Chains A and B, each alone.
Chain A
């Protein structure tokens, strides 16, 4: 975050882009400490699944889902399976739009706070910590 003459800006922000159920999403990369390929037999506690927290009716159509280690504001961490990672990009404020007013109240309750436009593609920006209930 940069502060200039009393005006704070979070931009540019790094965004981790991922795909789940054919839909493109983005998350503020600051929320993600690391990622790894999900293995059900790794001995760790069962992670949260993005599709369940986001309200999908069905599970992921992916062969190698990635689990993200989420960095909480209080120093804690949790794990969430987020599907397939696409890229990590730098986004300027000009690339981000709020949700349309008709959808925004509902979307915000589900942690979806905006839209990133990149190379003609629409990415739904999500707050994974909020989805994880933190």
Chain B
């Protein structure tokens, strides 16, 4: 009887183990995550999808090209490859002068490839999709055209920008 009881308990425990693992799998499906890179631009927090950011380049010299629009301050030399640079602050309302040295993220999506000037990288994180919310209806200005979502996470907020929409805005 004791051995039978022990045997049943073992199976019960095993059942519970299975149920627990299955429920975790369900939770994992519900909590699908996205990788984001959170940056600051003009004192505000913005984010890009991690899959769209290929590289972060610090202390980068920007070589000006005459008569390009203000949002294209020039070219950068990335290990012998010449890349364009977008001053995204121009669209975000923080119209920022570009200094001699800049911090740049290299973005690439659907045939678009360019550097984007930022002030700092705040975080690289995997966040649940439930943390993404529709853009604020009160959001105004050119930025609204390439905002994908608002991120609310751990008491912080950031505006998720869509590189594809930015590409459409800056293509000459």
A interface, CB within 8 angstroms of B: 21-24, 51, 54-56, 97-103, 105-107, 110, 112, 115, 117, 120, 122, 124
Contact = CB atoms under 8 A, between A and B. Distances in A.
Contact of B84 (A97, A100, A110): A100
Nearest to B115: A100
B171 interface: yes
Contacts of B172: 102-103, 105-106
A24 to B, nearest CB: 8
Interface residues of B, number: 22
B87 interface: no
Contact of B67 (A24, A54, A122): A54
Contacts of A98: 82
A23 B66 contact: yes
B104 to A, nearest CB: 13
Contacts of A22: 64
Nearest to B64: A23
Given A99-B82, A103-B75, A112 B65 contact: yes
B109 to A, nearest CB: 12
Interface in B86-138: 86, 111-114
B113 A101 contact: yes
B66 A103 contact: no
B158 interface: no
B82 A56 contact: no
B126 to A, nearest CB: 30
Contacts of A124: 63, 65, 75
B77 A122 contact: yes
B80 A56 contact: no
A103 B77 contact: no
Contacts of A112: 65
A101 B112 CA distance: 8
B170 A107 contact: no
Contact of B63 (A23, A51, A56): A23
B143 interface: no
Interface string B55-90: 000000001111110001001010011111010000
B66 A122 contact: no
A12 B113 CA distance: 29
Contacts of B113: 100-102
A36 to B, nearest CB: 24
Nearest to B69: A106
Nearest to B114: A102
12 contacts: A54-B67, A97-B81, A98-B82, A99-B82, A101-B84, A101-B113, A102-B114, A103-B65, A110-B66, A115-B75, A122-B82, A124-B75
A102 B63 contact: no
Nearest to B63: A122
Contacts of B65: 23, 103, 107, 112, 124
Nearest to A123: B63
